[in-house]
Amino acid sequence: MTCRLLRQGCVGLLPTLIVLTLGCARLSAQSSVTIRQELGSVAATSNSRDGHTGDAACIACHKKLATSYLQTAHHLTSQSPGNDSILGSFAPVSNTLPIAGPGADDSKTRLYFLMEAKEEGFYQTAVAESGARKLTRSERIDIVVGSGVRGQTYLYWHGNQLYELPVSYWTEGHRWINSPGYKDGTANFGRRAAPRCMECHATYIRALSADPQTNLYEKDSLVLGISCESCHGPGVPHVALERSAPGSQAAAAAVLNPSRWTRDRQIELCALCHNGTQREELLPAFSYVPGKPLDQFFAPAPIGAASQIDVHGNQVGLLQQSRCYLSSSTMTCATCHDVHSPEQKAASYSDRCLLCHRWQICGMARKIGGRIVENCIDCHMPMQETEAIVSVTAGKILHTSIRNHRIAIYPGQ
């Protein structure tokens, strides 16, 4: 059913059903004149991807590292939709998400979502029923956001505008849920996907407006996932020199190697996305250049922000509060994480802890003995619920848990 028919058909329906058309209204309200104005307001600082070659060029010479990296959560943080990339079930019953909200107890009123796999793609369909009347709104899943370690959210294109879909997937519960931040009892298709969100879930997409909240993009510019060049910089010069002078110093110098940077520059590379403390952006999304000071792109965090750090997206900020980090001049994210390989099980990180700490001095060693070396981090870096990603689905509040990167002694763990 078209947006026009939805708007006409909603007259007289209950408020819970009227919300179904909110996304339509937002999409249709922007006239072609306004869109042309946005297209004409492209900032002079808009990024160019000149010099970028893509991951395929890296695999040719760095097959082992590149092939391993393709399986990491970083690389899979955005993908094209497919049977393997979308983790939620499209099987009957499992593909239905009932919605609670005003009027939900009224047997004559029903609002729910269907996840549908069709020949032409995968769809989210909102269905609103009131008596004999039935309205639907269906949008195709065009982009999968999230590797699925904790969950996934989905985006759809409306022309050159990118929007978030109202249903997400929750890995812990193995189920479909309302996308975090969406009001239960509604079917809102109008939330914009802003450049700053895309910056941490894609290698690049070119915005067609200087507005930091725009969702108007050049579709063909999208590079899914976090690619090799996100950390190593544009690869064309390096590839060209390797072909003309293989193994030369000039070829090696033509690509960025984070391991050669100072600790501040190394950890700031991760902090671009893993330090979610509120910061004012000084330059548009995708302007950051690996190896440059992060404060050239973001203003300092507000005073007091560090004391309000949530575990979601704040791994660097929390790590920097740790005694382990403060007492070391060399500790970085790479001390524990191999960015080129998929994440390991929690217990496997204990060997990193034991590089500096003797297990015998841990207070729990007397109780459990040598077994303590099997898992340090579940006690000293516990999983905690985040208040930043909360879904209210069918009347229930759902939190996801994320590992706290402040290494410390936590009472009760």
Mean pLDDT (the chain) is 85
The residue written with tokens 């560090």 in the block is 306
Q: Please give the pLDDT value at position 8.
A: 30
pLDDT higher than 60, residue 292: yes
The confidence band for 308, taking pLDDT boundaries of 50, 70 and 90, is low
The confidence band for 107, taking pLDDT boundaries of 50, 70 and 90, is low
Mean pLDDT of 91-118: 80
Question: What is the pTM assigned to this prediction?
Answer: 0.86
Task: Report the C-alpha gap between 16 and 129 in whole angstroms.
Answer: 10
Q: Please give the pLDDT value at position 409.
A: 92
Least reliable range by pLDDT among 21-25, 115-119, 130-134: 21-25
CA angle 194–199–203, rounded 5-degree value? 130
pLDDT higher than 90, residue 252: yes
The confidence band for 46, taking pLDDT boundaries of 50, 70 and 90, is very low
The residue written with tokens 């060997």 in the block is 351
Q: Please give the pLDDT value at position 303.
A: 59
Question: Who wins on pLDDT, 348 or 56?
Answer: 56
Question: Who wins on pLDDT, 142 or 372?
Answer: 142
Q: Please give the pLDDT value at position 179.
A: 96
Task: Report the C-alpha gap between 385 and 378 in whole angstroms.
Answer: 14
b/e sequence 93-132, b meaning 16+ C-beta within 10 Å: eebebebbbebbeeeebbbebbbeeeeeebbbbbbbbbee
Task: Report the C-alpha gap between 270 and 289 in whole angstroms.
Answer: 12
Q: Please give the pLDDT value at position 110.
A: 85
Q: Give percent of the chain above pLDDT 70.
A: 84
Mean pLDDT of 326-333: 94
Task: Report the C-alpha gap between 59 and 289 in whole angstroms.
Answer: 22
Count Cβ atoms below 10 Å from residue 146 Cβ, excluding itself.
21
Mean pLDDT of 185-191: 93
Mean pLDDT of 149-162: 97
Q: Please give the pLDDT value at position 106.
A: 53
Mean pLDDT of 266-285: 89
Q: Please give the pLDDT value at position 278.
A: 67
Mean pLDDT of 38-50: 44
Q: Please give the pLDDT value at position 41.
A: 37
pLDDT higher than 80, residue 105: no
Mean pLDDT of 163-183: 95
Task: Report the C-alpha gap between 393 and 5 in whole angstroms.
Answer: 28
Where are any strands of DSSP class E within 11-140?
A: 78-79, 96-98, 109-118, 121-130, 133-140
Are the CB atoms for 177 and 390 separated by under 8 Å?
no
